[in-house]
Structure 1
């Protein structure tokens, strides 16, 4: 077996990792959409943070809970933060009793996670198929010698 077989491990393991991580994100997003309450909020500003190696902008949103308590939190959404102006009304998802779990109500996160799952599946299934096809093409020649 040559070193080229090890190159098939890169897309295989990368695809498994990608589909697993994005699958967990999709399950979490689906649970959040079923269990969380939808509330209306107002964007009051933006806050910059440093995530990993790049700067990110998060909208700061103020909303009132069903009990009449007012909250103001930075929403961890960097995808659409630059398009959200101050004073804009937005829909939020909040877990009951946990105001720190606030996220923008957008189906974009679930669709992106499902795209990542399928991309990962294509990577690892493609690598596995390439390896199996290569093994199948080598079998007849080795069988002629030893059978």
Structure 2
């Protein structure tokens, strides 16, 4: 006999976040903890690919590229790739219940470019990245 199960259908972008859109940051970990506490079995998160015009996760330029909107700045800061000053004064939107996709597109890009620049300048990250390339289909 099969066991009954339940879960939630919710996109990552629906999670609370100070950066204009939900991400794979602490709120995602907290939500997983909540799912465990409430004995949920599934979290269907919907497509995580980059979006094209219209910002729908079902309309993407790529079937495999991840959505850069979902990268968490706090985690990049913990990794040493950003400083809080890189994003502390940026306005990601005025309404925490609604995502302003145009605003976050333009606000997040230069911050992510800073993180990439810092990543490329860090030898330890480069060694890890080269190992990743060798052990995946990228290499």
TM-score past 0.5 threshold:
no
**Does 1 or 2 have the higher relative contact order (CA < 8 Å, sep 6+)?**
1
Higher fraction of strand: 1
Structure holding more helix per residue: 1
